Structure 1
Amino acid sequence: MAITPPRLDDRRFDDLVEDLLARIPAHTPEWTNPRLGDPGRTMVELFAWLGDALLYRANLVPERQRLVFQQLLGAPMKGALPARGIVQLAYAQPPTELAVQSLQPGATLSGAAPFETLAETSVLPIVAEAYIKRALDDGERARMADVVAGLARIHRVNGAAEPYETHRVFDADRAEPNGIDVFASSIDRVLWLALLAPTAARPTEQAATNDAVRNALGGASGTPTLLSLGIVPTISTPELFDELETPAPLPVLWELATRGTGTFGTEYLTLDPLPDSNTTGGLTRAGTLRLPLPGSDRLWVPPNDVLANPSAGVGDTPPRIDDADRAGRLVGWLRLRPRPGAQVEHLALSWIGANAVEVDQRVTLRGSVLGSSTGAADQSFSLPQGSVDADTLVIEVEEPGQGYRTWSRVEDLATIDANPNVAREAAAFELDAAAGTLRFGDGIRGRIPDRQMRVRLAFGRFGGGVAGNLPPQSLTGISATRVEGGRSSPLKVQQPLAMQGGVDAKTMAQAEARIPALLRHRDRAVTPLDYQRLAFEVPGIAMGRVEVMPRFKPRDRRFEVPGVVSVMVLPEQPMTTAQVPNPRPDRPFLERTHSHLAARSPLASELYVIGCDYIPLGLAVGVVLRDGFGRDAVLLEVRQALKRLLWPLPPGGADGKGWRLGRHVRERELEVEVSRVAGVREVSGLNLFGKGVSESGPAWTLLPRNQPDGTRSLELARWQLPELLGVIVVDGDTPVPTSLAALPNPFAKANQVAVPVVPELC
């Protein structure tokens, strides 16, 4: 029999009023009309209201006991996690004075959810644009062979000339989700950042504006100016059976162009990022870094005018910019390249920009009095909000004659110290981060705050939840304070990427649902069910499906290997009407899951966390429609039914849990699913296609009839799932296509031929 939380009394206000009115004839029969507004009726309702309040408080007792049981079981309520991301700052209007503003952490951003900056940052009066020297393809080389030969003679190039095109990446501060390999796409494996001054009010004032910007970047009083850069490497989906290892930092150099020997000679000054400010992990994850800039006399750019500088853009010099406006605003060149001798040929980036800072979805509260001590044991105080970041919390308690003193946080007051004298005098408190409550000691396990002494929240950061997972360009404004004090100049925010990682706090029902699993696995992974349940509890990610394959070694594709456990994980992804690929975990997703499970796995086990090996599948279906049903609607529903059946996540699959791992895709099963669609009278045929290899590359091939009944099927190994990549549905007497390319485009006209044209540029 299930145990449900009891309610001490389930009566409410209306019930109490009806009960009292029903007793009137027995106790006061002379009161024949207890109507509304009658003084006696008013007394009855007042009594019912007081009784309802008392019953409400009495019914809170089981609720509080449920929370206590959660704590005793070591399964406290989990608080919300904040979304995080990177934003770029810029002046909202042309500054009256070209100066550098250093901003304190904790600046608040305006948007649909509260965000704050996580570190100090500097806003420089510049714009940074990223460029590469893009190598020409074979067709461009052939077409421009004579031009390149002429340029080699003009520039007096000794050896083979390597033509390039100055190509701007991340145009208009937009991120590239698929990434750009800035090293492999360039001829010199260098990413160039052009530092541009603001546009002057009049063209004749641009030179003076540039000089003012250089002076600002050069720093004052011997303190170098810090350039804050935000970098977002492309998070690629790893190969299926890659082993998870912590990525090694990329050996790269940051260099600033400076004046060299001769009139137009260029040399480079190496800049080392401040260690405490570099959160990119050596360009392996999204983060920021700060580069100290040299004095203004070291900032230099070679002229872009080929008439004045024939070597502009040649050799190891910065790329030539032919845009006269941008070339006139250049105040410096910064470049990123591999260290000499390092075998670094690839660097895929989704975004890079200056004046960047990391933000998260929390708010900072400080200087709030929580209450005064009564001198009793086990006192509790409520924080202003729940879901507090425990690492940032600072609680102060007033001491007689000494003012406020900071008390320390402990996980459990009962385990402060084995020495009773130390435990008795410990100035400590216990925190329930999700509920936002503090609990102090009882004089034996932790001190009791002295009577009438105040308890104060000195500092703490609160917040989190899925509401912070905002799309790009959702955050627009910022309110910041300078390091030296005072409000900053008006600033605007550029948010090139979405905020990610926000998770809502767990509800009581969700916490209680975890108790049976917790009692079974006790936060240790032993059985396959333990691994599965623990994988669904990985914080900060949306897990869609987990499959545990004991004794399966992925790299060898071999089962029955002792001591090996492989966990296949898929992220949560809704099944939409659009043709989208099946869900695939990226490297951070796999790394976070692996670290969570590895800490709970037996010491002798060999753990692998992998994605899924998808096998491409194409389908061609012929149906006969019933009368009275719309053709397009039925054909669309046939596609959706097949997609829903083969989808790897719920509600896909025959049982609504996603297509079963290793289950073959059989023609007869697909026909049954199509025949269930309303409006389909008959399935006239169904062909299955797999991806084969032809002379021109991968191509769809019709699968053979390899079943005893003469039907087709897609055979899958025990670690594989199908991925439906193409569906053709025809109706009526149209024969079922034997090729996925056989169906013509219904929107194309038979008497027209598409011809590409080259646009004219002025």
Structure 2
Amino acid sequence: MPILPPRLDDRSFDDLLDDLLARIPAHTPEWTNPRLGDPGRTLLELFAWLGDALLYRANLIPERQRLVFLKLLGQGLRPAQPARGIVGLAFAQPTELAGATLAAGARIKAPVPFETLSETTVLPVTAEAYYKRPLPEADRLRMAEVLSGLQRVHGIADEVSGYLSTALFEGGQAAGAGVDVFADSVDRALWLALLAPVAAQPERQPAANAAARAALGGGDSGAAALLSVGVVPAIAAPALFEEIGPRARVPVLWEVVTAAANGLDADYLTVEPLPGDAYDTTAGLTRPGVLRLPMPDESLIFAPVNDVGENPRAGVADNPPRIDDAERAARLVGWLRLRPRPGSGVGSLRLSWVGVNAVEVDQRVTIAGRVIGASTGAADQVFQLPAGSVDPASLVLQVEAPGRGYQPWTRVDDLAAISADPAVAREAPAFELDAEAGIVRFGDGVRGRVPERQMRIRLASGRFGGGRAGNLPPGSLAEVSGATLVGAARPMPAIKAWQPLATEGGEDAETLARAEQRIPAQLRHRERAVTAEDYRRLAAETPGTDVGRVEVLPRFKPRERRPDVPGVVSVMVLPARVPGKAPNPRPDRPFIERVHAHLSARTPLATELYVIGCEYVPLGISVAVAIRDGFAREAVLYEVGEALRRLLWPLPPGGQAGAGWPLGRDVRERELEVEVSRVAGVAEVAGLNLFGRATVDGRDRWSLLTRATADGTQTLELAAWQLPELLSVVAVDDAGGTAGAPADLSAVPNPFAGDTAVAVPVVPEVC
């Protein structure tokens, strides 16, 4: 997108020619007919054309100066950010009964290209999640005799707790609010049933189960198979003014069911996720990610029989939940259990989705092994990569060396700052990268080595892409369109993908106009948060985050609601949202964590930083208006409600100044009446009432605010960190001017109901 700077001289060819022709009578009065085709007229046109070309070049100076100024600041355009997500993989054909390990970079078919971020093993099993849901109180009382009988049958001395085997995430669907698999289950555990593919004929199902169990245990390879488990915690919105920081890892145990000594009950083998961030991206179940579990030998993987005729203890005590579906039970090859680590005190774990054969993906593509040019031996050579918006961490660039082949060169942020030693700086094999444009620049022989003449420059590998187009809804990623198998000499099997949650985080590349707007702010804060404006601008520039509003509260400690605390800075952030009805926009935990991480790296060392949401105060409004003749009643009442919502909306263009309702400003009755009176069709405001939320008889109800002011008007008082949240608006037509605004939001009469008739239900006759 081009920058549109002011023109130094806006005269065009026609303007210059007209000016020259107008000067003829003053300078050459004897030339009375400067007609078209006249030699003198032709010379004037030639001069005007040359002048127009010079003015065009002169007008390029402001644009070039801005671009050069950005380069001098070291602030190139910000590259696009990729959307990220988690997908589950499975073989498209149930006849595939051997595992397949896919190298990182497997392509996922989608409207925009996605690739897997790590190596993953696709095993011929699927997983279904279950938990032992306790019986509701009514059912428990009704089945008291049955439970007592079961207690005697199984010889259980302790109290019996009945449960229902309840499936989670059916069909691969995620549960948005999540399920607390520890607190809501009788045994504080989540169970994953590992199922083999459906065999072509029922009599072949045992053979398919054996093959799937062998693949799950590593088979004859001699190495443990790695089961990739995707986990998406249901990250709750932070409590009001909750202090944001790194979340503590959840101490849990992953266990595989093996056979007990009696051959019927279950025993357990603990499996620990492979150590390292590359193998456990969930950071201890605190964020969405994938962990890889090394499975035991197939001889140790066991699933108790679900038929109570063969196994009376199916689902009893510490055994896995009983599956009564015969088709699923016939395909069961093993169980995986997730429970709290003993002695950890963990009593809650809310999950939105769990699945196996999972892998993380992002909206980028890998380009490798491509020659991008040959060196001319000149200084400051520039080469264009195959695409823009490159991931700097993934870029590997190689330069050909005489007699040694391609050699890797190092990316640096600034060639001028390679080293204070001139000899080191002169010989450093380094290059600069403009990630957004996809351009690499080499040194001049003083600041960085110059590639030798006629030596080729090759892109060994790099990942390119990103943008908002990658923010896709669930189910958009369907299959693997290209992948490389690791250590397997067989054709690539067809693999389908399932995307349980939306991909998010994609952001388009920065435009020149946005970069130009950053110049004044960059000169002021230099990526350091010192003044309130610095905090405001830096928070609004958090990558991959749509920040709708930022307020800075210096010296305010949020959890204690205490002002004037030295060294404390609280930054209130709200996500961008299209103006609409309640509820008002609230930041979730990942949103606040991204802003906090962006700001904390730029704040002074002694600053105590808090990134918080907003404390909203509920507000209800009733208003009565008289409507002018010629205006539709319902349309006017609707516009009255919308006018009040726009005025009290916390984001732009809400509020009287268009920046959202001011933080901590009281809501006054007279101010709202003025806003209502401006609505087209309102002849008079016949009354307006304000309501707050109050607890009456243990229930949360609307309560009319008192009129304690000197003029008898109502005011909703707000603290310096509060904003109003308009939850209810009732607008009525008071044509006679006698009824006034309703005094009870919970009992507003229906204007369409009859005065004498009472509505009652009737039972229709059915033939």
TM-score by length of 2: 0.90
Give the equivalent residue in structure 1 for 2:327.
325
Task: Give the unaligned 5+ runs of structure 2.
Answer: 25-32
- 2:167 alignment partner AA: R
- Do the aligned residues in 2 keep the contact of 1:634 with 1:679 (CA within 8 Å)? yes
Distance 2:523 2:75 in 1: 10
Write the deviation string for residues 675-727 of structure 1: whole angstroms up to 9, x where unpaired.
Answer: 22223333333222212113333222222222222122211111111112222
8 Å Cα contact 1:258-1:299 kept in structure 2: yes
- Give the Cα–Cα distance (whole angstroms) in 2 for the partners of residues 484 and 16 of structure 1: 74
User: Of the candidates 527, 531, 535, which is equivalent to residue 527 of structure 1?
Assistant: 531
Residue 483 of structure 1 is matched in structure 2 by 486
Distance change in 2, residues 1:186/1:4 (3 Å):
closer
Aligned to 1:230: 230
Alignment partner, residue 334 of structure 1: 336
Deviation per CA, 1:428-462, whole angstroms, max 9, x where unpaired?
A: 11111122111111111111111121111111111
Q: Secondary structure at the match of 1:401?
A: coil
Give me the whole-angstrom Cα distance separating, in 2, the residues matched to 1:61 and 1:482.
54
The answer on 1:574 being equivalent to 2:573 is: no
The structural deviation recorded for 1:604 is 2.0
Aligned-partner Cα distance in 2 for 1:197–1:453: 55
Residue 277 of structure 1 deviates from its aligned partner by 0.8
Task: Label 1:334 to 1:57 Cα distance change in 2 as closer, same or farther (>3 A).
Answer: farther
Name the SS of the counterpart of 2:210 in structure 1.
helix
**Secondary structure of 2:89 counterpart:** strand
CA distance in 2, matches of 1:58, 1:372: 34
- The amino acid that maps onto 1:600 is R
Partners of 2:56 and 2:37 in 1: CA distance: 32
Residue deviations 1:144-177 (CA, integer Å, cap 9, x gap): 2233223223333212111111111112211122
2:629 counterpart (616, 627, 631): 627
Q: Which moved more, 1:540-549 or 1:213-222?
A: 213-222
1:731 paired residue number: 733
Query: d(CA) in 2 for partners of 1:58 and 1:370?
Result: 34
Q: For 1:718 and 1:408, how far apart are their aligned partners in 2?
A: 51
Pair 51,505 (structure 1): closer, same or farther in 2 beyond 3 Å:
farther
Structure 1 residue 341 displacement after superposition: 0.7
Deviation at residue 5 of structure 1 after TM alignment: 4.6
Amino acid at match of 1:207: P
Aligned to 1:37: none
CA separation of 1:365 and 1:15: change in aligned 2, threshold 3 A: farther
Displacement, 1:345? Answer: 0.7
* C-alpha displacement of 1:27: 10
Question: How far apart, in 2, do the equivalents of 1:174 and 1:746 lie?
Answer: 43
Separation of aligned partners in 1, 2:328 and 2:20? 85
**3-state secondary structure, aligned to 1:685:** strand
Is the CA contact 1:83–1:361 (under 8 Å) kept in the aligned structure 2?
yes
CA distance in 2, matches of 1:647, 1:725: 11
The match for 1:663 is 665
Task: Mark the CA change 1:9 to 1:217 in structure 2 (over 3 Å): closer, same or farther.
Answer: farther
For the residues of structure 2 that align with 1:478 and 1:628, how far apart are their CA atoms? 62
Q: CA deviation at 1:671?
A: 2.0
Residue among 488, 493, 503 paired with 1:499: 503
1:55 Cα deviation after fit: 9.0
Flag structure 1 segments of 5+ consecutive residues without an equivalent: 35-43, 756-762
> Identity of counterpart residues, as a percentage?
61
In the TM superposition, residue 746 of structure 1 has moved relative to its aligned partner by 8.4
Alpha-carbon contact 1:621-1:687 (below 8 Å) kept = yes
In the TM superposition, 1:197-236 aligns within 5 A as 197-219=196-218, 220-236=220-236
Give CA deviations for 1:601-657 in whole Å, capped at 9, x if unaligned: 222222111111111112223333333333333333222222111111111112111
- Residues 418 and 162 (structure 1), Cα distance of their counterparts in 2 relative to 1, 3 Å cut: same
CA contact 2:35–2:41 (8 Å) conserved in 1: no
Q: Distance in 2 between matches of 1:588 and 1:619?
A: 34
Cα distance in 2 for partners of 1:145, 1:746 equals 52
Deviation, structure 1 residue 17: 12
- Residues of 2 paired with 1:738 and 1:559: CA distance? 37
Q: Using the alignment, how far apart are the partners of 2:408 and 2:7 within structure 1?
A: 41
**Residue deviations 1:733-754 (CA, integer Å, cap 9, x gap):** 6764333321367899954469
2:221 is paired with a residue whose SS is coil
1:359 Cα offset (Å): 0.6
Distance 1:629 1:384 in 2: 61
Q: Give me the whole-angstrom Cα distance separating, in 2, the residues matched to 1:478 and 1:670.
A: 57
Matched, 1:741 2:746: yes
1:122 aligns to what? 121
Does the 8 Å CA contact 2:94/2:198 hold for their aligned counterparts? Answer: no
Please give the alpha-carbon distance, in whole angstroms, between the structure 1 residues aligned to 2:631 and 2:251: 64
Deviates more, 1:694-703 or 1:557-566: 694-703
C-alpha RMSD of the superposition? 3.1
Instruction: Check if 1:110 corresponds to 2:109.
Output: yes
- 2:150 counterpart SS class: helix
1:274 alignment counterpart: 274
Structure 1 counterpart of 2:607, from 578, 581, 605: 605
Offset of 1:8 from its aligned partner?
A: 8.0
SS class of match (1:367): strand
Aligned residue type for 2:233: P
> Would the alpha carbon gap of residues 99 and 467 (structure 1) be closer, same or farther in structure 2, given more than 3 Å must change?
same
> Are residues 1:158 and 2:157 paired?
yes
Match of 1:652 in 2: 654
**Which residue matches 2:81?**
81
In the other structure, the counterpart of 2:29 is none
Residue 18 of structure 1 and its aligned partner are, at CA, apart by: 11
For 1:580 and 1:426, how far apart are their aligned partners in 2?
A: 59
Does residue 404 of structure 2 align to residue 405 of structure 1? no
* Cα offset, 1:539, TM superposition: 1.4
Query: Counterpart of 1:179?
Result: 178
List per-residue Cα deviations over 1:371-430 (Å, max 9, x = no partner). Answer: 121111111111121111111111111112222111111111111111111111111111
Does 676-685 or 402-411 show the bigger shift? 676-685
Query: Higher mean Cα deviation, 298-307 or 598-607?
Result: 598-607
Given the superposition, is the C-alpha separation of residues 398 and 623 from structure 1 closer, same or farther in structure 2, using an over 3 Å criterion?
A: same
Q: Residues of 1 paired with 2:315 and 2:752: CA distance?
A: 48
CA contact (8 A) 1:85 1:500 kept: yes
**Could you tell which deviates more after superposition, 529-538 or 617-626?**
617-626
3-state DSSP class of the match of 1:558?
A: coil
Call closer, same or farther: CA 1:267–1:552 in 2, change over 3 Å.
same
Alpha-carbon distance in 2 for matches of 1:438, 1:507: 19
**Is the contact made by 2:384 and 2:439 (CA closer than 8 Å) also made in structure 1?**
yes
Q: Deviations over 1:70-104 (max 9, x none)?
A: 12123222111111111111223x24331111111
Aligned residues: 738
